């Protein structure tokens, strides 16, 4: 069973998730917290619901959702599935990309996907809010041997 402190940590984390820019993460986390609350004893559930009703986190930027692909990309990343996407660049040009998901970053303003782009034959960073359409392919790719720390050292020094 969860302790009161553990339940409070999940309720607090939920408030951070609710201001997230990706609708799929908000939905998935909300469903998970509801399942957790369902298994709590009545007194712990009442306390968790009380805390949830009395905690509010204000975002640094506009709270409106800007993407809905985070859950699908997380699945592709952990299962080594290629993703196919229609992507709109900062100059409003549209391209079709096949990408091997490598890592996810959050800037509080946006979620970013780092991935090996088959079109550019290089690692690229994609803003999730610029993905027009995304499909997770059944096609697999070989796991990246580089760590995220190594990526930053190699590409961002």
94-139 pLDDT per residue, tens: 999 999 999 999 887 788 999 999 999 999 999 999 999 999 999 9
Q: Which helix (H) or strand (E) segment is 9 a member of?
A: helix 4-18
Co-location of 75 and 133 in the same domain: yes
Residue 95 lies in a domain: yes
Co-location of 85 and 48 in the same domain: no
Co-location of 118 and 146 in the same domain: yes
Co-location of 31 and 93 in the same domain: no
Q: Which domain, by its residues, includes 149?
A: 70-155
Co-location of 82 and 36 in the same domain: no
pLDDT of residue 20: 77
Residue 61 lies in a domain: no
Q: Angle 136-128-34 (CA atoms, 0-180°, nearest 5)?
A: 75
Co-location of 98 and 144 in the same domain: yes
Domain harbouring 136, CATH code: 2.30.30
What's the total number of domains in the chain?
Answer: 2
Residue 136 lies in a domain: yes
Query: Model pTM?
Result: 0.76
Burial class (CB in 10 A: 0-12, 13-18, 19+), 106: middle
Contacts of 88 (CB under 8 A, 6+ apart): 94, 130, 131, 132
Q: Are 151 and 103 spatial neighbours (Cβ–Cβ below 8 Å)?
A: yes
Residue 140 lies in a domain: yes
Distance CA 101, CA 125 (A): 10
| Nearest in space to 68 (alpha carbons), one of 104, 114, 24 | 24
Residue 64 lies in a domain: no
Co-location of 43 and 88 in the same domain: no
**Residue 86 — very low, low, confident or very high, per pLDDT cuts 50/70/90?**
very high
Q: Is the pLDDT score of 61 beyond 70?
A: no
Co-location of 93 and 144 in the same domain: yes
Residue 65 lies in a domain: no
Using alpha carbons, list the distances in angstroms from residue 107 to 45, 60, 111, 147, 149.
33, 11, 6, 20, 17
């Amino acid at each position: 069973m969860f302790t009161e402190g553990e339940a409070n940590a999940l309720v607090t984390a939920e408030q951070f998730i609710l201001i997230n820019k990706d609708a799929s993460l908000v939905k998935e986390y909300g469903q998970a917290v509801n399942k957790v609350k369902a298994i709590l004893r009545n007194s712990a559930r009442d306390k968790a619901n009380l805390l949830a009703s009395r905690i509010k986190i204000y975002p640094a930027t506009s709270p409106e959702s800007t993407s809905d692909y985070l859950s699908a990309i997380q699945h592709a990343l952990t299962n080594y599935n290629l993703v196919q996407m229609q992507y709109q660049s900062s100059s409003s040009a549209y391209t079709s990309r096949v990408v091997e998901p490598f890592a996810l970053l959050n800037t509080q303003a946006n979620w970013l996907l780092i991935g090996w782009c088959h079109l550019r034959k290089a690692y690229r960073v994609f803003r999730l809010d610029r993905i027009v359409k995304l499909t997770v392919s059944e096609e697999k790719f070989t796991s990246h041997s580089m760590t995220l720390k190594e990526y930053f050292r190699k590409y961002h020094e």
